[in-house]
Amino acid sequence: MRYYGKYLKIDFYKALHSKIILSHFVIPILGLVMMLSYYTLVSWSESEKILLYIQVVSMTFPLVISIVINMVYEQEEKCGRFQYFLTIPNKKYIPHVSKLFLLIILGLISTSISILGFGLIFKYMGNSSIDLWVYLKEVGIAFISNIPIYMIQYLVVFSFGKGASIALGITGSLICALMITGIGDGVWFVLPWGYSIRLSSYLFQYEISNKWSLALERNLSLAIILMLIYIIIGAISLVIFSNYWEGKREFY
């Protein structure tokens, strides 16, 4: 734990003196301001506006996560060609785990600003049909659902480079958008990019109607189990990867 604390403190200071932390505040604030401004021009119901906002936020997560992790990769590449990871004599997974843990925590803060911030302002604008507790639940679901994506993106950028990571981020956002359509009905619970948009949408619809089908309940249970499996596999993969990674530069 002493090693973790040391590296986490270093990672925090590095992020503080870069655009990494700032981006976790600026991006969600810009997003909610844009959507709230747009909502002043349309005459949809409160529930339609909230559901669309939650889905749009979910769609942007894969791309935004890839951009942020690319920023971290770039920072370490410029700062001594990844010596931060390579100079530790043993337990080489510690700096990688510390770095990823900090990114996930920053992701929680960003998600809270994006969803809970929207809920507070939306309520202040005179929309009161949805309780703030629902937004808190949505924050929790969106946060947990995106942990596998953080792990995948981290492993991809350090294995294959920035180009592959951004390509995966764009593809992930497109897959996420497809998962909310009929195309995703039979496969969303298998793909990590389908969790955030489907689970957050189902939660909101349940809060409105207070019911869901038996088939949906089975899919939800399967999705949660698979999500936990992905997180465990991701954690094991990160530890193994860290012990063999040599800090090679990308070739494209």
Distance separating alpha carbons of residues 249 and 246, to the nearest angstrom: 9
- What local confidence, expressed as pLDDT, does residue 252 receive? 39
Distance separating alpha carbons of residues 155 and 230, to the nearest angstrom: 13
Question: Is residue 250 situated within a structural domain?
Answer: no
H-state helical runs in 161-212: 162-179, 195-209
Tell me the pTM: 0.92
For residue 246, report the phi and psi dihedrals to the nearest 5 degrees: -115, 10
> What domain range is 198 assigned to?
1-244
Within 10 angstroms of residue 73's Cβ, the number of other Cβ atoms is 20
Q: How many domains does the chain have?
A: 1
Residues 150-161 as b/e (b if ≥16 CB within 10 A, e otherwise) read bbbbbbbbbeeb
Question: Is residue 249 situated within a structural domain?
Answer: no
Question: Is residue 252 situated within a structural domain?
Answer: no
**Tens digit of each residue's pLDDT (9 = 90 or more) over 122-149:** 988 887 778 899 999 999 999 999 999 9
- What local confidence, expressed as pLDDT, does residue 199 receive? 94
Ordered mean pLDDT values, 10 residues apiece, the chain (252 residues): 76 85 93 93 90 96 96 85 74 87 95 95 84 93 96 94 94 96 90 95 86 74 94 95 73 40
| Helix, strand, coil percentages in the chain from 3-state DSSP, rounded to 5 | 80, 0, 20
With a pLDDT cut of 70, the percent of the chain lying above it is 94
Question: Is residue 181 situated within a structural domain?
Answer: yes
Question: Is residue 36 situated within a structural domain?
Answer: yes
Question: Is residue 251 situated within a structural domain?
Answer: no
Question: Is residue 46 situated within a structural domain?
Answer: yes
For residue 184, report the phi and psi dihedrals to the nearest 5 degrees: -90, 0
Question: Is residue 147 situated within a structural domain?
Answer: yes
